[in-house]
C-alpha cells in the first residue's frame, strides 16, 4: 500500500462502511484496506447533481430540500434575527418532532450575533452561542429560540448519551482580552428541549480551557474525548476527560474530573505518519498540568519526559463501533507541521488502547473530487459515510455508499464571492434525524440550515 493516497483512491477504500454500519454499529473499521479500488465515478452511478433554479443547493434526482432557517431572518421567538455562521449541529428525538441545536461560530466582527438574552448569557461581550429549533415531521419550523448566548466562536461539539448538546468554544481569550469580560475556551452543556435548564450558563472548566473543536463520548464509560484546533504552532492536542460522575445525565459534568492529553510514544506530530493502517499500541494519557491554562496554554505546558503529541487542524469527531474517530483536516509544513497531508482520519480503540491511521488524504489531484480538507464526518444511517468538504472552490457534501462508490450528494450554490472569482461557504453540522429519513446540514456562510429528503434507503 502506498504511503500517500490521492483522492481518487482515498474514498474508494470506504466501501467497508457496509450495510451494518450505522444501524447495528458493527463495522470493524471506518476505512478497510480490502475496499474496492475501482475508479470513482463523478456521479456514483446515480446521475449528476442537478442545478438548483433557486441557486441555493444542487442535489441529485429524487432528492429535495427545505430551507429551515436563514441568517438575518427573524427568530420565531421574537428575540431578534437568526444569528450567522452556522456550524456544528445535532438532531435529538422528540416524539413526532425533531429538535435541533445549532452552533454559531461568531467572533466580535459578526453582523448577526446571538441575541444576548440575559438569563442565557455567559459573557455579554461575546457574540456566539447556540439556537434551538423544533420541527414537525413535515419539517415545519414551529419553535426557534436562543439556547445559550455570550459564548465565543462556538465551532463544533457533540451530543451526549443523555440527549444534550456540548457546545465548544474555539477560542482561548481571557477576560480583558479582545473585548471579552470573562475567560473563554470552554465547553458548555445545552438542553435542546427546555431553555429554562440553560439559564445561568456554567462553563465545564474541568474539561479544559483551550481552542476546542469537537467532543465525542464513549457511552460505555462516560469518558469524553476532545479535539483542539489550535491555529499556530505548536498545534493542538487530543484529550480525554474522565468525569467524576460518568453517565450521570444533565449537569453531571459540572462535578469535575481529570483532563489528560494523548502521547503517542515516539510520535511528536501525527502528520509524520503517512501509512494508512499504521497502528500504535500502548498509547499514554498524560495528566494536564493546568487545565484552566491560567498562565500558559495547555499545548505549551510541560508534560515531562517524552513531551506530548501535537497535530494540525484536529476537527471532526464521533463515536462508533466501540471506537472514537477524529479528523486532522490538513497539515502544511510552511505553517509549522512536520509533514504534509490533505486530511487524516484516526481511530482510537479504548479497549486495545491503540491508535490507527485509517486513511490519509493525498495531493490535490482534482478539485471536483472529494477529499480536500475533510471537516465534519458522519455515519449514514443506512450504511455509508458522509463527508463535509472545507477546502477551496466548490463545497460539497459527499456520500460513500454500501458498494464503495463515492458521489456528490449536495453542492452549495450560494456565491459569496464575485462572478469573476466565485467563493462558497463550507458545509457543517451534518446530522440525520432519528428515523434516518432526513439529513440536516448547515451552510456556514451565508448561514443556512437545510433539511434534505429523498430515497436514502435506496442509496
Tell me how far CA of residue 208 lies from CA of 2, 26, 120, 177, 293, in angstroms: 38, 32, 22, 18, 8
326 contacts 239 by C-beta, under 8 angstroms: no
Secondary structure, 3-state, 416-452: CCCCCCCCECCEEEEEECCCCCCEEEEECCCCEEEEE
Burial grade of 243 (CB within 10 A; 0-12, 13-18, 19 or more):
buried
| Residue 46 DSSP code | S
Alpha-carbon distance of 371 to 182, in angstroms, equals 38
Confidence of residue 101 (pLDDT cuts 50, 70, 90): very high
Q: How many CB atoms lie within 10 A of CB 218?
A: 19
Confidence label for 387 from pLDDT (cuts 50, 70 and 90): confident
- Which residue, among 150, 299, 173, has the nearest Cα to 226 in the 3D structure? 299
CB atoms < 10 A from the CB of 231, how many?
A: 12
List of E strands, 191-283: 212-217, 224-228, 238-243, 257-263, 279-281
What's the pLDDT tens digit per position in 255-310? 999 999 999 999 999 999 999 899 999 999 999 999 999 999 999 999 999 999 99
d(CA 54, CA 454): 19
C-alpha distances in angstroms, 339 versus 151, 278, 308, 364, 373? 34, 16, 17, 15, 15
Q: Is the pLDDT of residue 35 over 80?
A: no
The answer to which of 208-212, 271-275, 284-288, 356-360 has the lowest mean pLDDT is 356-360
N-to-C CA span, the chain: 29
Q: Mean pLDDT check: name the lowest of 49-53, 317-321, 333-337.
A: 317-321
Confidence of residue 49 (pLDDT cuts 50, 70, 90): very high
Rounded to an integer, the average pLDDT of 238-257 is 95
Is residue 458 over pLDDT 50? yes
Q: What percent of the chain has pLDDT over 70?
A: 84
Cell 451552510, residue?
443
Nearest to 165 by CA among 198, 206, 124: 198
Q: Is 23 helix (H, G, I), strand (E, B) or coil?
A: helix
Q: Give the Cα separation of 37 and 343 in Å (integer).
A: 19
CA 154, CA 368: separation in Å to the nearest integer? 29
Q: What is the pLDDT of residues 67-96, one digit of tens each?
A: 999 999 999 999 999 999 999 999 999 989
Band of pLDDT at residue 22, cut at 50, 70 and 90: very low
Contacts of 435 (CB under 8 A, 6+ apart): none
118: three-class secondary structure by DSSP? helix
Under 8 Å between Cβ of 423 and 416: yes
* pLDDT of 321: 83
Q: DSSP assignment of 124-166, as one string?
A: TT--EEEEEEEE-TT--EEEEEEEEEEES-EEEEEE-TTS-EE
Q: Please give the average per-residue pLDDT across 100-118, as a whole number.
A: 97
d(CA 309, CA 299): 9
pLDDT of 33 > 80? The answer is: no
Could you tell me which residues come within 8 angstroms of residue 458 by beta carbon, excluding any fewer than 6 positions away? Answer: none
- For 361-384, the pLDDT digits (tens) are 654 434 444 456 677 777 777 776
pLDDT the model gives residue 344: 87
pLDDT of residue 105: 98
Q: Name which residue leads in pLDDT, 29 or 408.
A: 408
Look at residue 378 in the predicted model and tell me its pLDDT. Answer: 78
Question: Residue 31: is its pLDDT beyond 60?
Answer: no
Measured at the CA of 409, the angle between CA 403 and CA 412, to 5 degrees, comes to: 160
Minimum mean pLDDT among 167-171, 255-259, 332-336, 404-408: which range? 404-408
Please report, for the chain, the start and end positions of each structural domain, with discontinuous segments joined by +.
Answer: 1-70+363-459
For residues 19 and 243, which has the higher predicted lDDT (pLDDT)?
Answer: 243
- Beta strands at 354-360 and 224-228: parallel, antiparallel or unpaired: unpaired
How many other β-carbons are positioned within 10 Å of the β-carbon of residue 2?
11
Q: How far apart are CA 37 and CA 365, in angstroms?
A: 17
Question: CA separation (Å) from 275 to 27, 135, 268, 278?
Answer: 21, 44, 16, 6
With 50 as the cut, is the pLDDT of residue 398 above it? Answer: yes
Residue 232 has pLDDT above 50, yes or no: yes
**420-452, pLDDT tens digit by residue?**
999 999 999 999 998 899 999 999 999 999 999
Nearest to 150 by CA among 128, 182, 167, 172: 128
Amino acid at each position: 500500500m502506498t504511503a500517500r493516497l490521492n483522492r481518487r483512491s482515498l474514498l474508494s477504500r470506504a466501501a467497508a462502511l457496509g450495510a451494518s454500519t450505522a444501524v447495528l454499529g458493527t463495522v470493524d473499521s471506518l476505512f478497510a484496506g480490502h475496499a474496492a479500488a475501482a475508479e470513482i465515478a463523478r456521479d456514483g452511478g446515480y446521475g449528476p447533481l442537478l442545478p438548483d433554479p433557486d441557486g441555493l443547493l444542487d442535489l441529485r434526482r429524487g432528492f429535495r430540500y427545505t430551507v429551515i432557517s436563514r441568517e438575518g431572518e427573524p427568530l420565531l421567538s421574537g428575540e431578534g434575527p437568526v444569528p450567522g455562521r452556522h456550524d456544528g449541529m445535532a438532531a435529538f428525538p422528540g416524539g413526532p418532532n425533531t429538535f435541533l441545536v445549532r452552533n454559531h461560530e461568531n467572533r466580535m466582527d459578526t453582523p448577526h450575533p446571538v441575541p444576548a438574552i440575559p438569563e442565557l448569557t455567559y459573557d455579554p461581550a461575546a457574540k456566539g452561542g447556540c439556537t434551538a429549533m423544533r420541527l414537525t415531521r413535515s419539517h415545519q419550523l414551529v419553535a426557534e429560540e436562543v439556547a445559550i448566548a455570550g459564548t465565543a466562536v462556538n465551532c463544533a461539539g457533540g451530543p451526549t448519551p443523555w440527549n444534550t448538546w456540548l457546545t465548544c468554544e474555539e477560542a482561548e481569550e481571557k477576560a480583558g482580552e479582545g473585548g471579552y469580560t470573562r475567560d473563554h475556551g470552554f465547553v458548555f452543556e445545552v438542553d435542546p428541549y427546555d431553555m429554562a435548564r440553560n439559564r445561568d450558563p456554567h462553563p465545564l472548566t474541568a474539561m479544559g480551557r483551550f481552542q476546542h473543536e469537537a467532543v465525542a463520548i464513549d457511552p460505555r464509560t462516560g469518558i469524553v474525548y476532545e479535539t483542539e484546533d489550535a491555529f499556530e504552532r505548536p498545534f493542538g492536542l487530543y484529550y480525554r476527560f474522565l468525569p467524576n460522575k460518568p453517565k450521570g445525565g444533565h449537569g453531571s459534568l459540572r462535578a469535575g474530573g481529570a483532563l489528560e492529553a494523548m502521547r503517542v510514544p515516539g510520535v511528536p506530530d501525527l502528520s509524520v505518519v503517512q501509512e494508512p493502517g499504521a497502528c500504535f499500541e500502548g498509547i499514554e494519557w498524560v495528566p494536564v498540568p493546568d487545565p484552566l491554562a491560567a498562565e500558559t496554554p495547555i499545548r505549551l505546558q510541560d508534560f515531562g519526559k517524552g513531551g506530548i503529541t501535537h497535530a494540525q487542524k484536529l476537527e471532526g469527531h464521533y463515536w462508533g463501533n466501540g471506537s472514537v474517530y477524529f479528523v486532522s483536516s490538513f497539515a502544511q509544513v510552511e505553517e509549522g507541521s512536520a509533514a504534509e497531508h490533505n486530511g487524516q482520519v484516526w481511530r482510537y480503540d479504548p479497549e486495545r488502547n491503540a491508535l490507527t491511521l485509517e486513511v490519509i488524504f493525498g495531493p490535490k489531484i482534482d478539485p471536483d473530487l472529494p477529499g480536500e480538507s475533510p471537516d465534519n464526518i458522519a455515519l449514514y444511517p443506512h450504511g455509508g459515510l458522509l463527508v463535509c468538504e472545507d477546502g477551496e472552490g466548490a463545497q460539497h457534501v459527499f456520500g460513500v455508499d454500501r458498494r464503495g462508490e463515492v458521489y456528490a450528494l449536495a453542492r452549495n450554490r450560494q456565491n459569496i464571492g464575485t462572478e469573476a472569482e466565485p467563493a462558497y461557504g463550507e458545509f457543517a453540522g451534518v446530522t440525520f434525524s432519528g428515523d434516518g429519513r432526513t439529513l440536516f446540514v448547515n451552510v456556514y456562510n451565508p448561514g443556512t440550515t437545510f433539511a434534505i429528503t429523498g430515497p436514502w434507503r435506496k442509496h
